[in-house]
Structures are given as structure tokens and as C-alpha cells.
Amino acid sequence: MSGTPPFPEFRARLENALDALGMQADHARIPALLGYLQQLQHWNKAYNLTAVRDPGKMLVQHVFDSLAIVPELRARWPRRALRVADMGSGAGLPGIILAICQPDWTIVCVDAVGKKTAFIRQAAGVLGLKNVRAEHGRIESMDSLQADLVISRAFASLSDFVRVAAHHRAPGGILLAMKGQDPVAERAALEAGTGWYVKRAVELDVPEMDASRCLLELDSTGPEGTP
């Protein structure tokens, strides 16, 4: 990217958010993060990517929200180049944010809406992200992506997530679901109906967001993690 950085008025907020998340070393990624925000705002009307229209709210509800999982993932896999499948990726969230922060990871963003995967390709091209690929199709019908991390953000119930996406894990891979308030009813339905359960729950503190967010790791009691 070149020229005047987009949204200069948001730079300080993004710096503060990164500092709050313990990501001070990521200040160099701010132009790319703001460049993504610019693409999201520009294409939102044509592609209907998000109901959030105000770029300041997009910054918090989409960019900060996606950034909040990065410290947890880095702590768990500090020196490993991961293959990540972002299911129901929509506008590339959290996939594109992960790709910006982790250039050594390979990110596959999957969505059933062609306009949304077209946007992901467009944004990745503009931002020069070589580690992002968009796949258009139904998650449950696609061949396994053999991902180390299969992740979803505000995509489906825990049971539906397992049903459509579990086969995309590589051996030893895990499923992660980004949720708002810890979904007690979804947890119960997951255990009762699938044989899967929430192995680990991590509370997320999203900068500037006055709402509960959590990251849930799912596991199965069945053979080879098959629901």
C-alpha cells in the first residue's frame, strides 16, 4: 500500500488497543489494519458485508474484536506456522486480521456467499497478503482443509459449528469458537447432541467494547474427534 494512510484519526485508538492487548510490537501493522478497515467501509454498501456502517464502530466491533484472540493464539503456538480455516468468514473476520498479525500462518477464509469471498480476495490483494485464500462454498460439502485451527466468529451455534466444520481439522487440530457471553444453553446442547464439549473457555477483554466476549475450545469424547 502507498499514499496517505487511511483513517489517521483512528491511529491512536489502534495503538492504545494494541498496547492494552500486550501487542506493542505490532504497531508496524497499523497501516495494514487501517487499510483493511478502509476496504471494509468502501465495499460494504455493494457487498453487504456487515450491518455496522460507522467506521469507528467497525474498528471496535470487528478489528479490535478479532485482535483480542491474537495474544491467546500466540501464547499457545509461539513458534509454529499454523494453517487456519476461518469458517463463515464473512468479511474476512477474524481471518484477515490473523493474516496481518501472523504472516507466517496460512489462512483459508470460507464463506457460502460469493460476494463475501470476492471481497476477501479484493482486500487481501490490496493489502498484499500472500497468506490468505478465500474459498466459496458450503462448509459441510467441502473436502477437508486439514487445518491446525478451525475457527468461527459469530457464525453458528456450537452444535452446528461442529456438525459442519469438524472434518476440516488436521490430525491433532482443534476447533475454536468466538462467542459473546458464555453460551450456557449452547454448551448443554453441544454435549447432549454431539458428544463434543467445551474443553477450555478464555475470557476476552476487547478494547473499547463494553460487552462479554469469549473464546471456546471444543473437543470430542468420540473416536478421533468425530461427532
d(CA 160, CA 194): 10
204 marked as part of a ligand binding site: no
Q: Is 204 helix (H, G, I), strand (E, B) or coil?
A: strand
Where does the chain have alpha helices with state H? 11-20, 30-47, 55-58, 65-67, 70-76, 95-101, 114-127, 158-165, 184-194
217 is in an annotated binding site: no
Residue 187 assigned to a binding site: no
- 159-176 burial, b at 16+ Cβ within 10 Å, e below that, comes to bbbbbbbbbbbbeebbbb
Q: Is 34 annotated as a binding residue?
A: no
Of 64, 94, 63, 98, which is closest to residue 82 (Cα–Cα)? Answer: 98
CA–CA gap between residue 12 and residue 8 (Å, rounded):
8
Q: Is 97 annotated as ligand-binding?
A: no
CB-CB contact of 137 with 112 (8 Å): yes
CB burial string 177-186: b at 16+ within 10 A, e below: bbbeeebeeb
Per-residue burial over 106-123, b if 16 or more Cβ lie within 10 Å, else e, is bbbbbbeeeebbbbbebb
Annotated binding site for S-adenosyl-L-methionine: 88, 93, 139-140, 153
Annotated binding site: 88, 93, 139-140, 153
